[in-house]
A and B are shown apart, each in its own frame.
Chain A
Amino acid sequence: MRDLTIGQYYPGQSLLHKTDPRVKIILTLVFIFIIFFCKNFFSLGLMVAALLAGVLLSRVPLKMMLKSMRAITFIIIITALLNLFYSTGGKVLVSFKFFKITDTGVYTAIFVAVRIMALIVGSTLLTYTTTPTMLTDAIERLLKPLKLFHVPVHTLAMMMTLALRFIPTLMEEIDKIMNAQKARGADLESGGLMQRAKALVPILIPLFVSSFRRAYELAFAMECRCYTGGEGRTRMKQMKLKGLDSVLIVGCAVLLGGVIALNIFFKAFNVG
């Protein structure tokens, strides 16, 4: 339980690790947008190449990257198959009763599969190179303008940080309670769905009670350390845009330009 890591941060000192998390969040969103903007294999190929460069730059092992893909292999296969069978037009390659596989279908299937993979790798690159704390911090700063509309940005960010902080603590607690109930003869592993759901009640109730006690004590401890909300607080870790960040921003702009150019230039090869 102790080894539990929150999120899926891969510790490192690479350029991508050092990039301002705000820039990383925005660029990831832009990146996703550009990927959807790709219309043919040439522009998509450019994005895949950029992505590979990003992975190499982050020094996160390729194996880790592929691991994040495993969970959604099923979705990729289903979408690819749907596209394979339902696309019309183009030369018929194979035909079997109702099913017809056309060359457009094959292209679309590959195109969609590559696009989904690129999306996943792009977003995991963000979570692999940014700690959850840095992410919440960056989100707080990015959402700051919403304060004008009376959105309690600081409170929300503090809640997120505390939730992240207490996940491992509560996991340990659940483990302890489960063992305590088992020692009293509770049966958690047999029976049907209803029975198992019922067996969870004696675990959840003590968990809730102790969570409230923890919340109470934590609130005291925070008050004792002069916490009065977001007003008048300073931060130890400042976020300032550096040269590196502007390079990445310019790089992303160039990519967008490249994709548009390739989309127009190879219009004849557009997929779908």
Chain B
Amino acid sequence: MERIIEYQDVTFRYEGDDENHVLPLTINGITLNIEKGSFAAVLGRNGSGKSTLAKLTNAIHLPEDGRVLVEGLDTSEEKNVELIRRKVGMVFQNPDNQIVATIVEDDVAFGPENLGIEPDEIRRRVDDALKAVGMYEFRLAEPHKLSGGQKQRVAIAGILAMQTDCIVLDEPTAMLDPIGRREVLATVQRLNRERGITVLMITHFMEEAVQADRVIVLDHGKVFLDGCPRDVFTNTQAIERCGLTVPQATALTRALADSGISIRTDVLTEEECVEAVLKACGKE
């Protein structure tokens, strides 16, 4: 598989208030490859370095040691920064703080306008991006009148219109209600499947991570677990050791199994859980 983002033995620390105050390493030697077209979720407790990992992808942060490569371009080289930002788009946590214009379609056009694209082409891209996230009928709305989930979809459309190969989302659902969360997750999944856009999503909701092809768990600035969701979440002990909880569906079947009922314990989603419980009850 072709790699789109490569972390090569990366370390990073934030600057302290003064020279004598040196903060510990936030990222402490991470080597990781993100494959083109994949959907990877990054999990970890607060302070595990997951947000920092996201910000290393498009040169917001530069590694103290090691290298971050985006399609082979080193983020620490000044001349690469703009090229990298054309390849990797970023969606942040707070939808209010990333919308620039007072009208939805103008905001989506902001990125392509910065790239100096022809007006007709921008129009085409904006319409296409808004349709892809299901916000086309809101194209003339004012952002502050939208719900959180809708604003976040507008932010995603803004990145889509730049036609980046990869979208990095830094806890995009943390400030949303459950409906908004579902909207955003469904949009991201669809873009990954239908358009082959690589997705790197930082989250602290296990139910969201379950939907990815790959789950990376960080702890103390290191990769703690890395694998497909089923492998990662059935490793209950390890998950709990780094301060996370397994998805509710997994926890339930595990508890049932512990109390002596014979049931599958590698379930991840609600549907699988229902199926497993029915099977354990002898009802297909």
**Interface size band for A:** 20 to 34
Please name all residues of chain B whose beta carbon is closer than 8 Å to the beta carbon of A236 when the two chains form the complex: 105-106, 109, 112-113, 119, 122-123, 126
Please name all residues of chain A whose beta carbon is closer than 8 Å to the beta carbon of B117 when the two chains form the complex: 234
In the complex, identify which listed stretch (B24-32, B62-70, B94-102, B216-224) lies at the interface while the others stay far away. B94-102
Q: Is the CB of A221 within 8 A of B96?
A: no
The CA of A263 and the CA of B162, in the complex, are separated in Å by: 58
Q: Does B145 contact A (CB under 8 A)?
A: yes
The CA of A259 and the CA of B170, in the complex, are separated in Å by: 63
Q: Is the CB of B114 within 8 A of A224?
A: no
Q: Does A6 contact B (CB under 8 A)?
A: yes
Please name all residues of chain B whose beta carbon is closer than 8 Å to the beta carbon of A225 when the two chains form the complex: 85, 89, 100, 110-111, 114, 158-159, 162
Q: Is the CB of B118 within 8 A of A218?
A: no
Q: Is the CB of B92 within 8 A of A220?
A: yes
One of B97, B102, B115 near A6 (C-beta < 8 A): B102
Please name all residues of chain B whose beta carbon is closer than 8 Å to the beta carbon of A3 when the two chains form the complex: 145
Q: Of residues 100 to 138 in B, which have CB atoms within 8 Å of A's CB atoms?
A: 100-103, 105-106, 109-119, 122-123, 126
Interchain residue pairs A-B with the least CB separation, the first 3: A221-B98, A236-B109, A168-B144
**Chain A residues engaging chain B, CB cutoff 8 angstroms:** 2-6, 131-133, 161-162, 164-165, 168-169, 172, 214, 217-218, 220-228, 232-238
**Chain B residues engaging chain A, CB cutoff 8 angstroms:** 58, 60, 82, 85-86, 89-90, 92, 94, 96-103, 105-106, 109-119, 122-123, 126, 142-145, 158-159, 162
27 A-B interface contacts by CB (under 8 A): A2-B145, A6-B142, A133-B101, A133-B106, A161-B100, A161-B102, A162-B100, A165-B143, A168-B142, A169-B144, A214-B96, A218-B98, A221-B90, A221-B92, A224-B90, A225-B85, A225-B111, A225-B162, A226-B82, A228-B114, A232-B116, A234-B112, A234-B116, A234-B118, A236-B106, A236-B109, A236-B119
